[in-house]
């Protein structure tokens, strides 16, 4: 995982531009306390969760642009959820920009549902949509 910091930082910048984590933040997010980082084969993507008791926060998920829509994001999310379940989390939460239709589609397909909105949450004035999915084996804690 320490060997992944450089390419993750580069992919962060390519993916999120001005909102990308700095290299120091990448290190903190991938290696910090209560964080779990997941990297896909061939450096094609990564995901990071933050554990807080029964909740696992999905901090990030990103797939290299040329490889999107091939199931890599779904696999990364499945791994992150399996690990979170093993860590005792009951549900997974995330925040996503209301304008990020791709991510909203991706999360919706994965069973996440909107539970809240944070107006003007992002630097560009975008609202954040807060989404949640249950991690029970039958998805029964989806709230
Ligand atoms: C969101 C993201 C991680 C999805 O990764 P991905 O590997 O392309 O997603 P998958 O191929 O696993 O897609 C799984 C399902 O999600 C949905 N989905 C994915 N991309 C979609 C899109 N552009 N529009 C609508 N639905 C989409 C589909 O239902 C898809 O299943 P299908 O291809 O069988 O129809 C990727 O688009 C990405 O890196 N985006 C930029 C970073 C970002 O916005 N991250 C989220 C905020 S932190």
* Token pair for 119: 């107006």
What residues does each domain of the chain span?
2-134
- Which residue's CA is minimally distant from atom 25 of ligand 1? 105
Residue 142's pLDDT is: 46
Q: Percent of the chain having pLDDT more than 70?
A: 95
pLDDT at 87 over 80: yes
Rounded Cα distance between 10 and 16, Å, is: 10
User: Mean pLDDT over residues 95-122, rounded?
Assistant: 96
Alpha-carbon torsion (5, 22, 29, 73), positive or negative: negative
Q: At which residue do the structure tokens 């999360």 appear?
A: 107
Q: Cα–Cα distance between 11 and 142 in angstroms, integer?
A: 31
Query: Counting atoms of ligand 1 from 1, which one is nearest the CA of 105?
Result: 26
Residue in 102, 110, 130, 131 to alter for ligand 1 test, most ligand atoms within 8 A of Cβ = 102
CA distance 85 to 122: 29
Q: Does domain 2-134 have CATH number 3.40.630.30?
A: yes
Average pLDDT over residues 56-82: 98
The whole-model pTM stands at 0.94
Q: Using the atom order of ligand 1, give the atom closest to the CA of residue 65.
A: 39
From the CA of 20, how far away is ligand 1's center (Å)? 18
Listed residue (75, 81, 101, 73) closest to 142, CA to CA = 81
């Amino acid at each position: 995982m320490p060997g992944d910091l450089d390419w993750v930082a580069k992919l962060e910048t390519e993916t999120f531009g001005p909102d990308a984590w700095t290299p120091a933040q990448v290190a903190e997010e991938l290696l910090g306390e209560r964080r779990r980082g997941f990297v896909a084969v061939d450096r094609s993507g990564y995901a990071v969760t933050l554990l807080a008791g029964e909740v696992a926060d999905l901090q990030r998920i990103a797939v290299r642009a040329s490889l999107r829509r091939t199931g890599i994001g779904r696999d990364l999310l499945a791994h992150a959820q399996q690990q979170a379940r093993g860590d005792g989390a009951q549900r997974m939460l995330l925040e996503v920009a209301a304008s990020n239709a791709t991510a909203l589609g991706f999360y919706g397909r994965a069973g996440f549902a909107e539970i809240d909105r944070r107006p003007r949450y992002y630097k560009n004035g975008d609202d954040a949509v807060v989404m949640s999915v249950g991690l029970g084996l039958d998805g029964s804690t989806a709230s």
